[in-house]
Chains A and B, each alone.
Chain A
Amino acid sequence: MAMTREELTRQMQQVIPLLKHCAVLGIKVLDVDAGKLSLELPYSEFIIGNPDTGVIHGGPLTTLMDTACGFAAIAALDEFVLAPTLDLRIDYMRAADPGKSVIGDAEVYRVSSNVIFARGIAYHNEEKDQPIAHCTATFMRLDPDVRKDNRVENNSAKNKIEKMSGES
């Protein structure tokens, strides 16, 4: 992708909070590079899965990793186009610690003509050697005619998405 790391990061920081559920969970963009993306999911009471232990549910982790892999896929392309998720698999290594935020790192390891392959891990800061979850996901590259409607201009990502959501 032609954009610099800073431009990419800035763009993702504008676009990802427009995904309402990501905003609800408070997901933050930490870093972006070509085909790579790092997000943070803060701990909060309302994402708890086990009220006895305070451990967060797998659902918000799925959202974290789907978003991380999906936008890493976008960051691997030459233009900013949404790529729908084909499938996603999460392996849970251990429970997340209550009270700690979770970082989700994703990277694209293959871009074929039709499909983008991504993988990622979720972990607590400074505990990357003890991952909470591993994830692999595949994304569909849209055909050029469909892409036109899903393209987000580099310098006006926010406007474009807002405009598109207004049209529907």
Chain B
Amino acid sequence: MDLHELMVQARENRNFQDLISAVPYARLIGMSCFNLGEELVFILPENSDNIGNPTLPAIHGGVIGGFMENAAIFQVLGNIETNRIPKVVDFSLDYLRPGRFQDTFATCEVVRQGRKVVNVSVSAWQVRRNEPIANARTHLLL
């Protein structure tokens, strides 16, 4: 199945796992996704390959960024009828707490959808949703 078919299928079934698995980088970091009602919750499982700081140990900040960037892309693919993977124009990330070596979750909010550009806010947490480890905002080009 090609990417376009996977996108259509994911939107119809509200199941993004096959689409996520089609992206090599998402497979590398071990990303997955489940539905909580209508909400998509993205998961970055505890994976020693993702460690950046061996001292704490903590997940590499770049992996947290890549995970959240991916979450925003899949969220937009879920919300909007598009045939292409949206392009990231910019990505801005605030690190709020150390990303400990444990499961990480992310949810997205499409803040504004324009004709060409979508603004998405992403929050990542580990223990509780109201204690985010990182918040991000990004502009995606459709």
The reply to whether A90 and B62 form a contact with Cβ atoms under 8 Å apart is: no
Question: Once the chains bind, are A92 and B66 in contact (CB under 8 Å)?
Answer: no
Counted as pairs of residues, one from A and one from B, with CB atoms less than 8 Å apart, the total is: 142
Query: Interface residue tally of chain A, by bracket?
Result: 35 or more
Query: Is A101's beta carbon under 8 Å from chain B?
Result: no
What's the nearest-Cβ distance from chain B to residue A97, in Å? 15
CA distance A87 to B93 in the complex (A): 5
Task: Give residues of chain B (56-82) contacting chain A, Cβ–Cβ below 8 Å.
Answer: 56-57, 59-63, 65-67, 69-70
Known contacts A20-B50, A21-B62, A59-B29: does B55 contact A89 (CB below 8 Å)? Answer: no
A73 to chain B, nearest CB (A): 12
In the bound complex, do residue B54 and residue A161 qualify as a contact, i.e. CB atoms below 8 Å apart?
yes
Q: By the criterion CB–CB under 8 Å, are B91 and A63 in contact?
A: no
B88 at the interface (CB under 8 A from A): yes
Contact B23 A24 (CB under 8 A): no
Q: Could you tell me how many residues of chain B have their Cβ less than 8 Å away from some Cβ of chain A?
A: 41
Contacts of A58 in B (CB 8 A): 66, 69, 88, 91
Between B22, B56, B63, B90, the greatest number of chain A beta carbons within 10 A of the residue's beta carbon is seen for B63
Is B89 on the interface with A (CB-CB < 8 A)? Answer: yes
Which of A24, A45, A51, A59 sits near B66, CB closer than 8 Å? A59
Minimum-distance CB pairs A-B, first 3: A59-B66, A63-B62, A165-B54
User: Could you list 10 A-B pairs, sorted by A, with CB under 8 Å?
Assistant: A20-B48, A21-B63, A59-B62, A59-B63, A62-B62, A62-B91, A66-B65, A82-B53, A89-B92, A165-B55
Interface of B toward A, CB cutoff 8 Å: 2-3, 22-29, 48-57, 59-63, 65-67, 69-70, 85, 87-95, 98
